[in-house]
Structure formats: structure tokens, C-alpha cells
Structure 1
Amino acid sequence: MHEQILTDRQRIFGDDDPDTLTSRNNLAGAYESAGRLDQAVTLYEQNLTDCERVLGNDHPDTLTSRNNLAYAYQAAGRLDQAITLYEQNLTDCERVLAKDHPDTLTSRNNLAYAYRAAGRLDQAITLYEQTLTDRQRVLGDDHPDTLTSRNNLEAARRTKDV
């Protein structure tokens, strides 16, 4: 279904239309969910390049595209590439959206997750602590994202203690 939607949007609106970019991102996500990581990474890479060219580096859709590619890199075991993109994305989110924006907090959490996956536990724990503190302040103690942060921090601490 996603393949047909992308094909139709390309035909009707062209490759550079924002809705076409969204469809390409969605198809990459479907590939990723299906375990077709090579295809997902290729589409995410193309989509990020196109988003940067068409929308600019600071557009929210570009930030989302960069995050999605980083996640796909991580899923494919390409942690160094994932961490580089997550670090860039966090810097850009803080500059464009502000340090307390929910998307920035998600970006920080994602970078911490990649650090943890790479065995960089001290860096992961520091970011998880910061993210938890900020989510408690911005979203409240009972928000699902705050609870996720609490869980992630404790999991990283347990991993370090092992």
C-alpha cells in the first residue's frame, strides 16, 4: 500500500512535494518494520537528502527524517553512524525547537539509547538523567514519555551495575 501511495504521489505531485517526502518516509518505516533494513536505510537516506535540499536543514520534517535514518542505522547495527546523526539531530533540535520541546527531549532520549547500545553507559546515564528531569518538569510525572525516561534510566543503571 505504501509503495503505491508513493508511486501515485510522485506521479501527481513530483518527487520534491512535501507529501511525497512524507510518503517516502512512511514507506521506509514500513520496510524497517518488516525487517527490510537495507531498503529502509536506502529510502531514509534518499529522503533525508531530499528534505535537506527541498525543506532546509532546520525544517521539522528534516529533523524527523534525520532521526528516522539514525534509528534505522541503529537497527542495522551501524551504531557509529546512528550516534553521529543522533548527535547532530539533538544539536539541531535544541537550536531550532528549544531545549524543552518534546521532540528535543525525544531526540535526547534516542541519543542516550544509542549510547547505551554502544556500551557508552556513563554518557547514556547522564543523558537519561537530564531527559527524565526535563520531562518531569515539562510533561509531568505521570506522562507516558516521563515514565519511559524513568524506565530507560533504571535499565541503563542496571546494565552498568552488572
Structure 2
Amino acid sequence: MGGKNSKAAIAHSTTGATASTAASSTAMLRREPMAENYLVIWVDGNIDMANEDCKNTMEQLRAVVNQVNTCKTAEQCIQQLMDNQEEISFVISSGALGQHLIPDIHDMAKLNGIFIFCGNKQRHQVWAKNWTKTKGVDTSIKNICEKLATAIKQCNQDHMS
């Protein structure tokens, strides 16, 4: 009776506490747009939601923003950005796709920032630094989530002024 259900209850409880804290913080700052006003598109040819690493990455991203879409090709990402009329968007791309994707999406009005999630930070920083909407190149999803949260906070402040 204990093992599996207890773990699920703990995970649900922890998630609920995080969501509750986030909701309380947002309620106190009513002037700020909520995280629902943002879209993250995670584009990587290797995304497999049956994979535990991908599930973990998605969980961490959803702790920052409610709407996270995935796609495996640059074309799918471009289409999602073009279809988006409402939300401010952020793209998290693999290094390999990002190098070819960024020139096609950089000037899109609703796109606020691009993050490169890769295995070789030094290699991808070389080309990524040439694009002003690139907010970071990192090998850690935790670091990307921190930078994403900072970028969203900045967007909220910009909309208040």
C-alpha cells in the first residue's frame, strides 16, 4: 500500500506547494502578466517524451512557464512561432538546430529570447553571441530555467512601464 502511492502523493504535494507559492506570488503582483502569457518552444531533433531526461526537462520548464510546446524540426518551430498571435515566445533549441534556426526566427516580433541547450557550450557560444535575442548557451536545463525566469521577469517589468 505504501511505496508507489506514497511517492505519488509526495510528488503531488511538492508540486502543489510550488504551484500554490507561485499563485500567491502572482496574486500579490496583480499588475504583472501571469506566466500563462508566455510560450516556450523547445526544439530538438532528439526529444523523446518517453525518455526520463526529456520528462525531467519538461517538468523543469513547466515550473517556470505553463505552456511548453515541443518540436523536432526547425520548420515546426517556425510554424509554431508564426501561428502564435498572443503569447510572448521563447525558444529553447539544441545547438545543432539553433545555428540554422536563429537566422530564420530572430526578427519575429513575438519572439523575446532564444536559449541554446547543448552539449558543447564553448562551440555554440561562438556563433550564438552574434544574435541579440540569444539569452544564453548552456549545458544545464537548470541554468536555462533560471535565465528563462529572469527573462520573463524582465518582460513583466517592461510591460508595467
* TM-score normalised according to structure 2 size: 0.27
More helix by share: 1
